[in-house]
Amino acid sequence: MSRLPRPQAVIRIRSFLKNVQGVATFSLLTLNTLFWFAPLMVFAVIKLLLPIPALRRILTRWIMAIGENWVSCNAFAFSLGNSMQWDVRGLESLARDNWYLVVANHQTWVDIIVLQTVFNRRIPFLKFFIKRELFWFPFMGIAFWAMDMPFMKRYSKSYLAKHPEKKGRDLEATRLACEKFRDTPTSVINFIEGTRFSEAKKAARGSSFEHLLPPRAGGIALALSSMGSMFDSILDVTIVYPQGVSQFWELCCGDLKPVVVDVSRHDVDDWMVTGDYANDREFRSRFHQWLTRFWEAKDRRLATILGENRQS
């Protein structure tokens, strides 16, 4: 039997050990999810069956605590095999009792883990706008509802063409669904590129940005129309992987590359909240202009951070 050259043998052994670590980390994450999912479902069912406002508020706080514990345990599992070279900036003035709209660039599913870890117990538990149809998804639908994920109702253009009387009803339904957040500090996150960045997608969309895809205004306009008067600030989060983007399995295997998370705060101006994005062409044009300037500044910030890390 021929033997592998020593360098190749070492590489194979290291690769094998990395994959063993990945399996172990993924197993810990699975066990952690199952552990916290059980009490979450118990509280969710109680919250659903006993619609008493005071009790619901208490249960909501307990459920948010479960979510935060889940994130903390996940972060601990990842830290066991990773050096976690993180450069996090701009967290100094954040508070758990404020309302935030979090806007971030998106390159990999690891972004979500990074955001959850960085903001856990610094701001209210991160929430996503969820399509209302997902409420009926087994187990997860009620979990989303229990964790107060804002459900949105959207009518397609073809549906509205047949039922013009429904125009604006989806936004009003989403706005009413968000009214519960007036009494509960909330953080809503929006990836306004609509998908993960890649050079192929950048070329396909004809992006004028160096490091970003063109922003899609609909999601952030919906968030501001539904909850804008509640938000204390917009948190502009720029996520940078100076040595290349990490993937989820690499994170499990202990190969998380260095990451920079840069956070800046912006005011929510009155005009953003009071305008009618769907029906007011002038407002829509102004909103697009603001969003383009916002995204251009983020692109420059991303380039600056990459330049700083190349020099160091």
Phi-psi group of 291: left, alpha or beta (phi > 0 → left; psi -120 to 50 → alpha; rest → beta): alpha
Give the per-residue pLDDT at 132.
75
- Regarding pTM above 0.85, the answer is yes
Structural domains in the chain plus CATH codes? 84-311 (3.40.1130)
| Other beta carbons within 10 Å of 17 | 12
Distance CA(255)–CA(19), nearest Å, equals 11
Give the per-residue pLDDT at 208.
92
Rounded to a whole number of angstroms, the CA Rg of the chain reads 22
Give the per-residue pLDDT at 309.
74
Which of helix, strand or coil describes residue 254?
coil
Distance CA(160)–CA(106), nearest Å, equals 31
**Phi and psi torsions of 277, nearest 5°:** -65, -35
Residue at token pair 């404020």: 98
Distance CA(190)–CA(197), nearest Å, equals 14
**Phi and psi torsions of 53, nearest 5°:** -50, -45
The stretches in the chain having pLDDT less than 70 are 1-6, 84, 153-161, 163, 165-173, 311-312
Beta bridge mates, 103: 190, 236
